[in-house]
Every structure is written in C-alpha cells, then in structure tokens.
Amino acid sequence: MLPTVDWDIPPIMTSLPRSAVVAVLGGFAGISFIYGLVRKEKDQLWSGVFFAVLAAVVANYMPESYGIRYYSLLFVFVFLGGHALLKWQITRARGPAEDANDFIIYGVLGVLVGARLGHVLFYDLDKALADPAWVLKIWTGGLASHGAVLGLITAMWLFCKRRGIPFLEGADRFAFSAALGATLVRVGNLLNSEIVGKPTDGTWGFRFPRFDDNISPAPLRHPSQIYEIALGLFVLLCLYLIDRKLGREKRPRGVMIAAFFAIYFTGRFGIEFFKEYDGISPDSPLRMGQILSLPGMLLGYYGLYWSFKNRLPAAWPTDEDDEEVDERDEDERPEDDEDDEEVDERDEDERDEDEAEKAADEPAVDPDVEGEFDKDGRLKRSRDSS
C-alpha cells in the first residue's frame, strides 16, 4: 500500500532586512565592475550593470524584510553545481577553465531573465499587463522552467558566438549542468509546496495544506515534484552512460544536448498528466507544459539523428590549437617562398632560351644596311645605278 504524507514544511529558511539584500547585490555589482575593468572584460561590466539595476529594484520595491527561501538557496547550488560540471566537461577536452568561469555570468542572466519572462508570457500575462512592476518582483515567485531553458540556450549562443566556439560544442558541455538544474529546481518546488499534482483516489499521496489552504482537510495529491526529481536524476544517469558508451571525447558533436532534450522533455510530457491542470483552456486536450515540451522533444529526436548522421568530432577550441595553426603556417611559409623562387628561376631560364632560339633563326644583318635589302632578302637597286 502506498503511503500518505502531510507536507507542511515552511518554505522560508530565514529573513534578511532589505538593506542587507541591497548591500549584497551592490557588492556583486562592485566586484563585477572592478573585475571587468582590470581584465578588460565587457561581459563582467554588463554583469555589474545587471546587479546594480537589481539592487535598485530591490531597494524600491522589496518589503522591509525579505524571507530567504530554500528555493533561492537551491538556485545557488544550481549555479555552483552547474559551473562545476561545465568546468569538468571543458577541462576534460583540454579547454581553459576560465571559459566555464566566464559563462557563469551568461548562465545566471539567462536563467533569471528567461525563467521570469517565460512565466509571464506562458502563465501570467494578464497579471503582468495589469501590474508591469510585478514582472521585476522575482522574489514573489513565478519562474518557468521552459523559459529558463530558452534563456540558457540564448545565453549559450551569445557566449559561443563571442568566443568563436561552435554552438553545439558548448551546448553539449552544458548538458550535464542543465540536467542538474532541472533536478534541483524541482526540489525547490517541493519545499515551496508549489506546482503540485492533481488529486489521487484518496488512498495515498501528499497533502499540501499550504497550497490547499482553503480546503480542510487538504486532498491527497500526486507528488509530481518528486516525479520530476526522479526524472532529472534519470536524465543525469542517461547522459553519463551515453557519454561513457560513446567514448567521452570521441562522441559525435551535438549528441549530449540532443539526448537531454529528447529524454527530459519526453518525461516532462508524461508527468504533466499527473499535475494540476494549467491548460490554455478547459477544453484543451493538452496542458501548457505538454505544449511547451513538444518542440523540445522533436528538437531532441532530430538532433540525435543529425549528430549520428554527420558525426562531427567533439573538440573544445583552445589557445594551443591557434598556436599550432600559426606554427604550421610559419613552417609552410619558407617552403612556399622557395617554391616561388624556383618557379621564377625556371621562367627566367626559359625566357633566355626562347630569345637565343629566336636570334639563331633570324638572318645576321647589320642594322646599318638592313634597309638595302628587300623583303625577299635581295639587294635593292641603288638609285645611282644606270
């Protein structure tokens, strides 16, 4: 028999005064500015701008006391764990660890902006139109995982383009980080008593009194958050096995991110059947989460087909590669110069030979008397002859 659980854990771990939050964000802004100026990194400067703007928003809109939620703490682990996995993947390919450090800025912005805008566009557009300032109040909740994925894709594309890295190569290296993030975010949903499952038959399930605060007793529901945590762990396991089976650095480019999309979004499509309804309309046969999962599923399946068909080798570009190319060009340059000199010498010899042959064929005529002969070589008649 399946168990029943009363899930009534407070989502707030502790509270901080608004001034402390502003100070922390302002500190991040200052560190980013200084780091960007010292290393002449525009990305870090823009990061400083972002944290400065966020500090200003918090100072103007956040209540006097801010509750630090477990969910927020888990986001810290998402970034730290994602960075560690990305660094592992890059350094394993002999790439510089600094690339993983630099992507953190892109990743944080991509997740926060993408997740927030995704929630606004997909689930709460009416509320955003009625109160535009609410869009900036990310501490009130409302982050969509599909939006976070789109934000991360955009962030990875910008990062790769600025550094001359193939997009699929960068996305492959990030697949493990994405799977970890998808797992930890669902732990946060469980601790927040949000994104709950639909009611069960009443003999088993989880009660979420903080979600069903107007119903007593709270109904037993599917613990869909736990289903998605299990899905995230399963995706991590599959990625590890695929990476190992394909020889790690011998794998085709694009296969890891395609596998993530195919497995994760297929699982999400199935789990949505057990979640509380959030469709476009009551008559819609599919929930919003399923509609948003379909493009990810199709992209993943096609990506696997494309990767195994083209079999581009996985390789992270490094500074050593550029140096080797320069050395090869430098080594080839003297040979090319020698070849050009040999060609010039041959051409000069051939010209001398042609001139010698031409001179041998022409009659030996003194230029002073050339005009005394006709075209047939006969001596012209002199004017003085009789």
The tens-digit pLDDT sequence of the chain (386 residues) is: 678 999 999 888 888 888 988 998 899 889 888 988 887 777 778 888 888 988 898 888 888 887 777 877 888 898 889 999 999 999 999 999 888 888 888 888 888 888 888 888 888 888 888 888 888 777 666 777 778 888 888 999 999 998 899 999 999 999 999 999 999 999 989 998 988 999 998 899 999 999 998 888 999 999 999 999 999 999 999 999 999 999 999 999 999 999 999 999 999 999 999 998 666 666 778 888 899 899 999 999 999 999 999 999 999 987 655 455 445 545 555 555 555 555 555 556 556 665 655 555 555 444 444 454 444 444 444 444 43
Locus of tokens 């020698």? 338
Residue 145: count of CB within 10 angstroms of its CB:
23
Q: Look up the pTM and report it.
A: 0.74
* 148 vs 310: CA distance, rounded Å: 29
Crossing angle (nearest 10°) for helices 255-271 and 224-245: 160
* 272 vs 294: CA distance, rounded Å: 12
- Predicted confidence at residue 126, as pLDDT, reads 86
Q: Are 57 and 136 in contact (CB under 8 A)?
A: yes
* 320 vs 184: CA distance, rounded Å: 36
- Predicted confidence at residue 170, as pLDDT, reads 95
In single-letter form, the type of residue at position 44 comes to Q
- Predicted confidence at residue 340, as pLDDT, reads 52
For residue 64, give the DSSP letter: S
Q: CB within 8 A of 380, min separation 6: which ones?
A: 371, 372, 373, 374
68 sits in which H/E element = strand 65-69
CA distances from 69 to 75, 124, 193, 292 (A): 10, 22, 12, 27
* 88 vs 343: CA distance, rounded Å: 52
For residue 134, give the DSSP letter: G
In single-letter form, the type of residue at position 361 comes to D
- Predicted confidence at residue 4, as pLDDT, reads 93
Beta bridge partners of 206: 5, 221
In single-letter form, the type of residue at position 20 comes to A
In single-letter form, the type of residue at position 324 comes to E
221 in helix, strand or coil? strand
CA-based angle 294:299:304, to the nearest 5? 130
* 175 vs 89: CA distance, rounded Å: 10
- Predicted confidence at residue 33, as pLDDT, reads 85
* 235 vs 260: CA distance, rounded Å: 7
- Predicted confidence at residue 95, as pLDDT, reads 92
Q: What is the token pair recorded at 1?
A: 């028999």
For residue 272, give the DSSP letter: G
- Predicted confidence at residue 44, as pLDDT, reads 78
Greatest CA span in the chain, whole angstroms? 148
* 117 vs 379: CA distance, rounded Å: 103
Q: What is the token pair recorded at 121?
A: 């566009």
Crossing angle (nearest 10°) for helices 70-92 and 97-122: 140
367 in helix, strand or coil? coil
* 272 vs 275: CA distance, rounded Å: 5
Residue 59: count of CB within 10 angstroms of its CB:
14
Counting every residue, how long is the chain? 386
- Predicted confidence at residue 360, as pLDDT, reads 54
Beta bridge partners of 14: 68
